[in-house]
Amino acid sequence: MSDSYLRFANRPFGKFLCSSLGLPVPPVLQRAGDKPWLLVDNIAIEQAAGGLFTAAITSVLGDNETNNANERSNGVVFDASGIENSTALSALYQTLSARISTLNRNAKVVIIGIEPSTLNDVKKRTAQRALLGFVKSLAKELGRKGATANLIYATTDSDSAIAAPLSFFCSKRNVYVTGQVVSVQRADAGANEVEKPLAGKLALVTGATQGIGLAMAKTLRRDGATVIGLDIPGQESGLKTAMNECGGETLALDISSDGAGSAIAEHLGARQLDIIVHNAGVTRDKMLSRMQPQQWDMLMNINLCAIEAVNDYLLSNDLIANGGRIIGVSSISGIAGNVGQTNYATSKAGVIGMVEGLKAPLAQKNITINAVAPGFIETKMTGAVPFLTRQMGRRVCSLSQGGLPIDVAETVAMFAAPQAQGLSGNVLRVCGQNILGA
């Protein structure tokens, strides 16, 4: 559903009226379009003394960087890894406060620091943890300009692993992830095939008939993957139509049924999956005191238990390839909770627990696991939300608008990329820095 308020607020009279009344004027976001692999140009690179990652940053940005401090830019990447104590945080203030006024609309700001949990020096750990508060606050300041600010925590030996999140955060693929942090560790990343990074890969997307799932299928196909779209038998006709749009295969299957794993295996034949995206899910909202057992059981079976069962089957039968990707779909409700969603929030918090719990054992198989946590995304489901609730859902984020299914899909594609081997155990919110649990 289109956002009529956003369109009105960005017309001359609408902008005047909304500004006069103190109402938000949502920025017009510039998405990637038909060249998603391109980085924004004219990005400034800055560093604190002793930065470890500046060379790696330069290798990612290439010809897109600028070093003219007086020139307007489309982004800033700041290597904060050299900040050793709280006093040295002033370098962050001095550099970014001077740069902010020269940033264009829809600019990208990325801070790169050292993963605090890996540091034994308490003063350095304190300073590095402080970066998160800086980024979250800066993202809220920049939201009115449609700009994003994000943080990458890396280990001291993971300079090559920052390529995937850095290139994502510095491109127009990302317009709705802001105020967030990802952690990377040392890994042997795959080759950087820019236009078709997933060529030769086989991906399974559950709940792929429409909305976010269809956007994921199309985006993975755009990046070169062969896609298997899975949905319940009742959606088979729509699923076939959807998969025809992206040249994908169709698998009509209730993911929560007994034997779902073996049915997937039968469809695969001699093949292995390189990517599985657990997108299928339902809502059955009700206050806990009025919730019926079937509203709890059905939702939990689909949203969480089925994911665990399918993962167990595929992993135990070696059906996920070496270097594979498991990507879950959580929700901001699973992070912060929501009224009337004890069942849904429980299932989505469980997805986060699964990501955290499987990170270490899957690393032994060279498989990564991550999740996205969407906020208010413009879909048919949110289009059915009452008008005032829908407007509130759109406005209570730093960007004052809902996201689009492509915003979630682009984040999934980043986790799926060969360069993302150093990303595992992350839950990345795609919510425009929604105030709910932000």
Cα-Cα-Cα-Cα dihedral sign, residues 395, 14, 171, 207: positive
Q: How buried is 117 (Cβ within 10 angstroms: 0-12 exposed, 13-18 middle, 19+ buried)?
A: exposed
Q: How many CB atoms lie within 10 A of CB 357?
A: 12
Q: Which of 392, 370, 369 is nearest to 382 (CA)?
A: 392
Decide if 171 contacts 37 (C-beta within 8 A): yes
Task: Give the C-alpha separation, 356 to 330, whole Å.
Answer: 12
Q: Count the Cβ atoms, other than its own, within 10 Å of residue 118.
A: 16
Is 176 an active-site residue? no
Q: What is the DSSP string of 12-75?
A: HHHHHHHHHTT---PPPP---TT-TTPBPS-EEEEE-TT-SSHHHHHHHHGGGEE--TTS-EEE
Contact 148, 175 (CB under 8 A): yes
Residue 200 CB coordination number (10 Å): 10
What 3-state DSSP class applies to 279? coil
Per the CB < 8 A criterion, the answer to whether 114 and 159 are in contact is no
CA distances from 144 to 25, 109, 139, 375 (A): 7, 14, 9, 18
Name the residue among 233, 116, 171 with its Cα closest to residue 407.
Answer: 171
Q: Which residues are catalytic?
A: 344
